[in-house]
A and B are shown apart, each in its own frame.
Chain A
Amino acid sequence: MEKWSLMTITVLLALTVRWTVSLGSYSGAGKPPMYGDYEAQRHWQEVTYNLPIRQWYFNTSDNNLLYWGLDYPPLTAYHSFVCAYIAKLINPDWIALHTSRGYESQPHKLFMRTTVFVADLLVYIPAVIVYCFSLKETSTKKKVSSALCILLYPGLILIDHGHFQYNSVSLGLALWGVLYLSYDWDLLGSAAFCLALNYKQMELYHSLPFFCYLLGKCFKKGLKGKGLVLLTKIAGTVVVSFAVCWLPFCTDMEQIMQVLRRLFPIDRGLFEDKVANIWCSLSVLIKIKNIVSPQTQLKLSFAVTFLSLLPTCIKLTVQPSLRGFKFALVSCALSFFLFSFQVHEKSILLVSIPVCLIINEIPFMATWFLLVSTFSMLPLLLKDGLLLAYAVTTLAFLSVCAASFSIFEKTSAEDLQLKPFSLSLKGYVSWFKSFPKIVRCLFLLSVTLMGVLSLMSAAVHPPQRLPDLFPLSVSVISCLHFLLFLVYFNVVILWDSKNSRSQRKIS
């Protein structure tokens, strides 16, 4: 069948799954007084439409920052404004100042779900399609399979169309940035990534790989000639993009400072709730929050984060390659997720999307990671009443990946891109003979464990003395998985060299 019909079918399938999940419950449904993320988005539409720009980020009598104050950069605010404009045309009650708090109705839910759907359709899905078509050295069938697997990734669907957020916009823009960079259109790529950054500040997780890759490219071109020109052009593009987004706020230094204070709530503490993070997992054994002061916590987390991603970044700057760039996106974002400050469980999406980009290179490990990342968000999904959607989409994703990439046959060291690493460990060659089987067993064990824990979280009541047993177990197990993945990705990057790639081409 022709590739366009196959891709159309893939997109239609993805859209159907998204809309079906939309029919389910959302965050904070029917839970006054604070409700959830859904109400937050509705409130931002109310604030941005009714109040002047100067008041959006400030605590005024009309804008109570304690009730879901804006804490994303300006582009989110502009997007909310556009949505509010449309909402006003349909039913002004939805965004009436003060009186529309906690507004819940079927037509309004339909409207909100449509805004997410349209944003997804306009930004994220085209990026995925163009990305898959631009993959080199892959057959049409593999390209379409990659697109299908990426678009069916349960995590993004459940968070965006279930819990209710607009992650697909920022992730889509970042994906466009990666796409442009792969075509060597560096300025467009930088601009796209700046837009992504100005939509959600969490994209900072991806900023280091972008920076190091572009810097490395400039170095390669020679800092005395073309390299310097490129560097200044990129710097100029970044400044202009930021200026355009922040224009209304540039009138006053206090405005900029207030926005920054809302974006980076430093006084909030090392972690909140249960996250598959090192700090949260360690707190089971040692109560870090009690031992160390907040300032030291901040410095500690920054130090550990940067130490863990330093090797990858140095390698990327010295040897900028597109493959290294994509892997670096994964490992840097994962380092940030594991060791950084005030991490939310939804931030795992910032790691998952780069992993989706390399799904056709390491299908087995990518599928495994994506399954764990969805599982790590289980407590959040259970709170939102999305158990059925979670179960169905995860099973569908696993089946589609298993069928498209035949992952269970491709578990050798070479398939996992570990050949160069195994060659270095000459002493352990005999152990590597049964490597595929060991890996397969570990995978099955992991999936069974996740399945059992999911079932227990949903069906069984936790014992009285340990009410948080299941969310904590989910977080700790996910964290352990993520640590192993971090080591794996770092190994692949650091042992990857130009020789190994040319060897693959010859064979």
Chain B
Amino acid sequence: TPPHKHLGITSEWTLDYPPFFAWFECALSHVAKYFDPKMLVIENLNYTSRATILFQRFSVIFTDILFVYAVRECCRCVNGKRAAKDVLEKPTFILAVLLLWNFGLLIVDHIHFQYNGFLFGLMLLSVARLCQKRYLEGALLFAVLLHFKHIYIYVAPAYGIYLLRSYCFTANNADGSLKWRSFSVLHVTLLGLIVCLVSALSLGPFIVLGQLPQVISRLFPFKRGLCHAYWAPNFWALYNAMDKALTIFGLKCNFLDPTKIPKASMTGGLVQEFQHTVLPCVTPLATLICTFISILPSVFCLWFKPQGPRGFLQCLVLCALSSFMFGWHVHEKAILLAILPLSLLSVQRAKDAGIYLLLTTIGHFSLFPLLFTPPELPIKILLMLLFTVYSFSSLNSLFR
């Protein structure tokens, strides 16, 4: 039953996404009972049957329709400078393939199993709407998206600053700087209304029931530790590695007392809190400050020198990357947040294409540990090669 979902602590896989996602799962469960009723019993943890697997997989494929629609909208925003005769060399075609066949998305959604496809569809759709200057729709879609999966808060600064700068201030001076007089109260009110309405719709039932603190603590589990079970390749991974190296060095040179050091504290593959031994401890506040400092340059650029949708996309990618680098308890899948929007930029300028190729190849490689069984090994290698060969050769031919 809806309001009590967040209180259940019956297993390690309890709900830790915002309310809209919970409603989504609820809707799915109503369809699921036609496939196999036993998968809906709460006590049936780790329940698998052929019908369950079939249903889950089909649900991901079905919800990907939204992603396909979003890709179509994004392709409409992209205008290639050269009119290519061959359909294979058109920027829109290349963008469509880069997004629809994105290795990371395929692996995470359809093999590892999540619903990122339709969430990224929402994000790309909101980006497309902003590019088409339909600001309110873009804002609405992003607000809804935030309440589906709060990881998108990584890129919220980009949205906020861009909407403020380009929508609430409706005109620029001749030299491109801000015209303070053109502040539109109407636009600000509309934006505020949209955000409040969406938040009310999602969190409303829980505020009424007085469960808001519980929801917040499930959504932002700071007790989970600096790094996930498998370290995301971000700055804190290097920090941890440095700490380990110094510990070993210290033990060898007898600077440290062996009895005071816990064994395999961070590499044990478990999600828990722990302490660093040599380097100073990192608190959630510290990570927030680091992230904030690292997104400042791009946000400033977006505010003082807005370059329209392209500037917005660049800021978005940088916000995603900064949060990935310095965030608290980051998942390695979060790299997709940076890779997918960057695809939109990569088909328009050669420089962006170069950066995209670097980021996407390394980012996809970093997702390899997600699939660890022997039968999946050829699949991940083949798909990775497929995507890498295609992205390199198509972007190369586009910007020859």
List residues of chain A with CB under 8 Å of any chain B CB. 1-2, 5-6, 8-9, 12-13, 15-16, 19-20, 23, 106-107, 110, 117, 141
Query: Measured between alpha carbons, how far is A5 from B386 in the docked complex, in Å?
Result: 10
Measured CB to CB, the nearest residue on chain A to B388 is A12
Q: Is the CB of B383 within 8 A of A16?
A: yes
Given contacts A1-B394, A9-B390, 6 further A-B contacts (CB under 8 A): A1-B397, A2-B393, A5-B393, A9-B389, A16-B382, A23-B375
Query: Measured between alpha carbons, how far is A12 from B378 in the docked complex, in Å?
Result: 11
Q: Is the CB of A1 within 8 A of B88?
A: yes
Nearest-neighbour CB distance to chain B for A120, whole angstroms, equals 12
Q: Is the CB of A8 within 8 A of B397?
A: no
CB contact under 8 A between A12 and B379, given known A1-B88, A1-B393, A5-B393: no
Nearest-neighbour CB distance to chain B for A421, whole angstroms, equals 35
CB contact under 8 A between A13 and B386, given known A19-B379, A20-B379: yes
CB contact under 8 A between A16 and B379, given known A1-B397, A2-B397, A110-B374: yes
Measured CB to CB, the nearest residue on chain A to B382 is A16
A selection of 6 A-B contacts at a CB cut-off of 8 Å is A5-B393, A8-B389, A9-B393, A15-B378, A16-B379, A23-B375
CB-CB < 8 A to A20: which residues of B? 379
Q: Mark B359-400, 1 if CB is under 8 A from A, else 0.
A: 000000000000000110011001101100110111001000
Query: Measured between alpha carbons, how far is A157 from B86 in the docked complex, in Å?
Result: 31
B89 in contact (CB, < 8 A): yes
CB-CB < 8 A to B374: which residues of A? 107, 110
Query: Measured between alpha carbons, how far is A106 from B375 in the docked complex, in Å?
Result: 9
Measured CB to CB, the nearest residue on chain B to A19 is B378
Most A CB within 10 A of own CB, among B378, B390, B393: B378
Nearest-neighbour CB distance to chain B for A493, whole angstroms, equals 36
Nearest-neighbour CB distance to chain A for B1, whole angstroms, equals 35
Query: Measured between alpha carbons, how far is A41 from B211 in the docked complex, in Å?
Result: 62
Measured CB to CB, the nearest residue on chain A to B397 is A1
Query: Measured between alpha carbons, how far is A290 from B68 in the docked complex, in Å?
Result: 59
CB-CB < 8 A to B383: which residues of A? 16
Nearest-neighbour CB distance to chain A for B264, whole angstroms, equals 29
Measured CB to CB, the nearest residue on chain B to A114 is B378
Nearest-neighbour CB distance to chain B for A406, whole angstroms, equals 12
CB-CB < 8 A to A141: which residues of B? 86, 88
Nearest-neighbour CB distance to chain A for B393, whole angstroms, equals 4
Query: Measured between alpha carbons, how far is A15 from B380 in the docked complex, in Å?
Result: 12
Most B CB within 10 A of own CB, among A6, A19, A107, A141: A19
Nearest-neighbour CB distance to chain B for A161, whole angstroms, equals 12
CB contact under 8 A between A12 and B385, given known A1-B394, A20-B379: yes
CB-CB < 8 A to B394: which residues of A? 1
Q: Is the CB of A12 within 8 A of B386?
A: yes
Q: Is the CB of B393 within 8 A of A19?
A: no
Measured CB to CB, the nearest residue on chain A to B378 is A19
Query: Measured between alpha carbons, how far is A15 from B86 in the docked complex, in Å?
Result: 26
Q: Is the CB of B386 within 8 A of A110?
A: no
List residues of chain B with CB under 8 Å of any chain A CB. 86, 88-89, 374-375, 378-379, 382-383, 385-386, 389-390, 392-394, 397
Q: Is the CB of B390 within 8 A of A19?
A: no
Nearest-neighbour CB distance to chain A for B289, whole angstroms, equals 44
Nearest-neighbour CB distance to chain A for B53, whole angstroms, equals 11
Nearest-neighbour CB distance to chain A for B56, whole angstroms, equals 14
Q: Is the CB of A5 within 8 A of B89?
A: no
Nearest-neighbour CB distance to chain B for A58, whole angstroms, equals 38
Nearest-neighbour CB distance to chain B for A118, whole angstroms, equals 11
Residue among A1, A15, A117 making CB contact with B89, cutoff 8 Å: A1
Residue among B86, B375, B386 making CB contact with A9, cutoff 8 Å: B386
Most B CB within 10 A of own CB, among A12, A20, A117, A141: A12
CB-CB < 8 A to B382: which residues of A? 12, 15-16, 19
CB-CB < 8 A to A23: which residues of B? 375
Query: Measured between alpha carbons, how far is A117 from B375 in the docked complex, in Å?
Result: 13
Nearest-neighbour CB distance to chain B for A249, whole angstroms, equals 37
Nearest-neighbour CB distance to chain B for A139, whole angstroms, equals 11
Measured CB to CB, the nearest residue on chain B to A1 is B397
Query: Measured between alpha carbons, how far is A12 from B389 in the docked complex, in Å?
Result: 10
Query: Measured between alpha carbons, how far is A117 from B382 in the docked complex, in Å?
Result: 13
Nearest-neighbour CB distance to chain A for B34, whole angstroms, equals 15
Nearest-neighbour CB distance to chain A for B66, whole angstroms, equals 22
Measured CB to CB, the nearest residue on chain B to A20 is B379
Give 6 nearest A-B pairs by CB, closest first: A5-B393, A12-B386, A16-B382, A1-B397, A19-B378, A8-B389
Query: Measured between alpha carbons, how far is A13 from B97 in the docked complex, in Å?
Result: 14
Nearest-neighbour CB distance to chain A for B390, whole angstroms, equals 6
Query: Measured between alpha carbons, how far is A141 from B85 in the docked complex, in Å?
Result: 13
Query: Measured between alpha carbons, how far is A19 from B390 in the docked complex, in Å?
Result: 20
Query: Measured between alpha carbons, how far is A9 from B374 in the docked complex, in Å?
Result: 23
Most A CB within 10 A of own CB, among B374, B382, B392: B382
CB-CB < 8 A to A8: which residues of B? 389
Nearest-neighbour CB distance to chain B for A400, whole angstroms, equals 14
Query: Measured between alpha carbons, how far is A6 from B89 in the docked complex, in Å?
Result: 12
CB-CB < 8 A to B390: which residues of A? 5, 9
CB-CB < 8 A to B378: which residues of A? 15, 19, 117
Nearest-neighbour CB distance to chain B for A202, whole angstroms, equals 29
Nearest-neighbour CB distance to chain B for A317, whole angstroms, equals 44
Nearest-neighbour CB distance to chain A for B49, whole angstroms, equals 15
Query: Measured between alpha carbons, how far is A2 from B390 in the docked complex, in Å?
Result: 11
Nearest-neighbour CB distance to chain B for A91, whole angstroms, equals 14
CB-CB < 8 A to A9: which residues of B? 386, 389-390, 393
Query: Measured between alpha carbons, how far is A8 from B375 in the docked complex, in Å?
Result: 22
CB-CB < 8 A to B393: which residues of A? 1-2, 5-6, 9
Query: Measured between alpha carbons, how far is A16 from B387 in the docked complex, in Å?
Result: 12
Query: Measured between alpha carbons, how far is A5 from B394 in the docked complex, in Å?
Result: 9
Query: Measured between alpha carbons, how far is A110 from B386 in the docked complex, in Å?
Result: 22
Query: Measured between alpha carbons, how far is A19 from B397 in the docked complex, in Å?
Result: 30
Nearest-neighbour CB distance to chain B for A458, whole angstroms, equals 13
Nearest-neighbour CB distance to chain A for B28, whole angstroms, equals 21
Query: Measured between alpha carbons, how far is A16 from B384 in the docked complex, in Å?
Result: 11
Q: Is the CB of B389 within 8 A of A110?
A: no
Query: Measured between alpha carbons, how far is A13 from B387 in the docked complex, in Å?
Result: 10
Measured CB to CB, the nearest residue on chain A to B386 is A12
Nearest-neighbour CB distance to chain A for B90, whole angstroms, equals 12
Q: Is the CB of B88 within 8 A of A110?
A: no
CB-CB < 8 A to B375: which residues of A? 23, 106, 110
Nearest-neighbour CB distance to chain B for A395, whole angstroms, equals 13
Q: Is the CB of A5 within 8 A of B88?
A: no
Measured CB to CB, the nearest residue on chain A to B393 is A5
Q: Is the CB of B386 within 8 A of A16?
A: yes
CB-CB < 8 A to B389: which residues of A? 5, 8-9, 12
Query: Measured between alpha carbons, how far is A107 from B386 in the docked complex, in Å?
Result: 26
Query: Measured between alpha carbons, how far is A23 from B382 in the docked complex, in Å?
Result: 14
Nearest-neighbour CB distance to chain B for A214, whole angstroms, equals 39
Nearest-neighbour CB distance to chain A for B103, whole angstroms, equals 11
Nearest-neighbour CB distance to chain B for A445, whole angstroms, equals 29
Query: Measured between alpha carbons, how far is A20 from B375 in the docked complex, in Å?
Result: 9
Query: Measured between alpha carbons, how far is A110 from B89 in the docked complex, in Å?
Result: 39
Query: Measured between alpha carbons, how far is A141 from B86 in the docked complex, in Å?
Result: 10
CB-CB < 8 A to B86: which residues of A? 141
CB-CB < 8 A to A1: which residues of B? 88-89, 393-394, 397
CB-CB < 8 A to A19: which residues of B? 378-379, 382
CB-CB < 8 A to B397: which residues of A? 1-2
Query: Measured between alpha carbons, how far is A15 from B383 in the docked complex, in Å?
Result: 10
Query: Measured between alpha carbons, how far is A110 from B377 in the docked complex, in Å?
Result: 11
Nearest-neighbour CB distance to chain B for A8, whole angstroms, equals 5
Measured CB to CB, the nearest residue on chain B to A17 is B382
Query: Measured between alpha carbons, how far is A383 from B89 in the docked complex, in Å?
Result: 44
Measured CB to CB, the nearest residue on chain B to A113 is B375
Query: Measured between alpha carbons, how far is A107 from B375 in the docked complex, in Å?
Result: 9
CB-CB < 8 A to B385: which residues of A? 12
Query: Measured between alpha carbons, how far is A16 from B393 in the docked complex, in Å?
Result: 19
Nearest-neighbour CB distance to chain B for A38, whole angstroms, equals 16
Query: Measured between alpha carbons, how far is A5 from B88 in the docked complex, in Å?
Result: 12
Query: Measured between alpha carbons, how far is A8 from B383 in the docked complex, in Å?
Result: 12
